[in-house]
A and B are shown apart, each in its own frame.
Chain A
């Protein structure tokens, strides 16, 4: 319509120009005749007529131009409206399936494995929807396989660590029996039995650690937190470690701020963590090193830190220090008897209590492992919600 309008406008302009030109030609003819003085009256009348004609033509063209402009504007508006209607129809038919896709993708990403879309609408969105559903099916299959493997792994570790306990009891028990008669053994035999017993204890630690981790993975690591005094926990752990640190002439000290609030924890588990941290400090630090346990209130928490002036931990290892089977400097592992699970378990346990554990270390200066535990009376941490009843 707009094109027709513009075409008409150009045609009108052309006609107008031609008419004006013709009018001037007539007027010029009249003026020539007037100059020659031939029939001056008729010539003047012709000049006046031509002037009037041009005026009329101008009025005519401006009226035509206005009409044509209106026509063009109407055409443009009609065109735009049509396009708008067409587009909004198209957008509406795309929008609903796309919104559904976005919504389903969001739910899938958030872990809802059953998120699917209804396939329909334009062929492009239908194809997209079908592809999405296929992908979601595949993800669901893989996830359920992985879940099953995880369950099998947890079951296996739980069963294995149970089944290994009976033979271990026998080995350790009979070795202890031999030690009851150590007076009749040669020094060489005593040493041999001691090695057996040392390794039994190591195996027990490993089994206990594996069991804890498997339970933690299976969401079956249970704690029963209650308001507990911090100082006896630290005293206990330090007493447990005293003989070992003295054998390496390491100074083991406590610095506990007075008036600490009670913490909401399961005492045995926190003692286990502290002994873990102290064992690490003891084993990785050289003869004569210093190890200190400190406790202080921090906000609504109590912070317990184990500081040593041992070799420290290289920055490259700090990021993985709480991963299972990560151990310090590989060269040391021959001498250090840890299981490589202690810190992973400590982290699980601290988090179960709603607390945090962190490490700060400078090679050549020493390491600080600090745990924060929620004070009793403060809001109870995630421990409560994880504290499920053991059902095995």
Chain B
């Protein structure tokens, strides 16, 4: 089953994401911010990389956008979805040169999110 790394600074959101995604049959790992994401992925080989990244756009220490930029620079090509509080998530959250698979807005429409995840991990 596909592995998803979810990063959000809210434990409640992480619990919600984990529960919903596990019900849908995914294996879920969580991180509290972008710093944790980059630390965890930098060291490991490609067999440790998740199949999908689900990163909150705004987090303390390191935002999802900054973490993703670092990962892309390091050659990590894992598909990534950016979760944003912006009503109309656009390039305002991430520069257009950043390779993002899509944007998810809060409050999260899980039906759409699960459709997008299924497509990206198939």
Contact = CB atoms under 8 A, between A and B. Distances in A.
23 contacts: A162-B85, A163-B85, A166-B13, A166-B106, A167-B12, A168-B106, A168-B107, A169-B13, A169-B106, A170-B10, A170-B13, A172-B107, A173-B16, A173-B107, A173-B108, A173-B110, A176-B110, A177-B16, A177-B23, A208-B87, A211-B87, A391-B92, A392-B92
Interface in B11-30: 12-13, 16, 19-20, 23
A204 interface: yes
A208 B106 CA distance: 11
A200 B90 CA distance: 24
A23 to B, nearest CB: 115
Interface string B72-98: 000000000000011100101000000
Nearest to A212: B87
Interface of A: 161-163, 165-170, 172-174, 176-177, 180, 200, 204, 207-208, 211-212, 389-392
A389 B23 CA distance: 39
A229 to B, nearest CB: 22
B56 to A, nearest CB: 9
Contact of A165 (B19, B23, B85): B85
Contacts of A211: 87
B29 to A, nearest CB: 19
Contacts of B108: 169, 173
Q: Closest 10 CB pairs between A and B? A: A165-B106, A169-B107, A173-B16, A165-B85, A390-B92, A170-B12, A162-B85, A169-B106, A172-B107, A168-B107
A380 B90 CA distance: 24
Interface of B: 10, 12-13, 16, 19-20, 23, 85-87, 90, 92, 106-108, 110
Nearest to B105: A165
B85 A166 contact: yes
A207 B86 CA distance: 11
A108 B10 CA distance: 51
B20 A390 contact: no
Nearest to B111: A176
A390 B19 CA distance: 34
A136 B102 CA distance: 52
B16 A169 contact: yes
Contact of B90 (A168, A173, A390): A390
B107 A200 contact: yes
Nearest to A167: B12
A391 B10 CA distance: 25
A126 B20 CA distance: 77
A169 B108 CA distance: 6
Which interface residue of B23, B85, B92 has the most chain A CB atoms within 10 A? B85
Contacts of B87: 161, 207-208, 211-212
A177 B90 CA distance: 28
Given A169-B107, A177-B19, A177-B23, 7 more contacts: A162-B86, A167-B12, A169-B16, A172-B107, A173-B107, A177-B16, A204-B107
Contacts of A392: 86, 92
A176 B19 CA distance: 11
B90 A165 contact: no
B86 A173 contact: no
B20 A165 contact: no
Contacts of B20: 173, 176-177
Nearest to A209: B87
Nearest to A207: B87
A180 B110 CA distance: 12
Contacts of A168: 106-107
Contacts of A391: 92
A165 B92 contact: no
A221 B19 CA distance: 36
A176 B92 CA distance: 29
Contacts of B10: 166, 170
Contacts of B110: 173, 176
Contacts of A163: 85
A165 B87 CA distance: 9
Contacts of B13: 166, 169-170, 173
Contacts of B92: 389-392
B71 to A, nearest CB: 24
A212 B23 CA distance: 35
A71 B85 CA distance: 96
Nearest to A215: B87
B121 to A, nearest CB: 21
Contacts of A174: 16
A212 B86 CA distance: 11
Contacts of B12: 167, 170
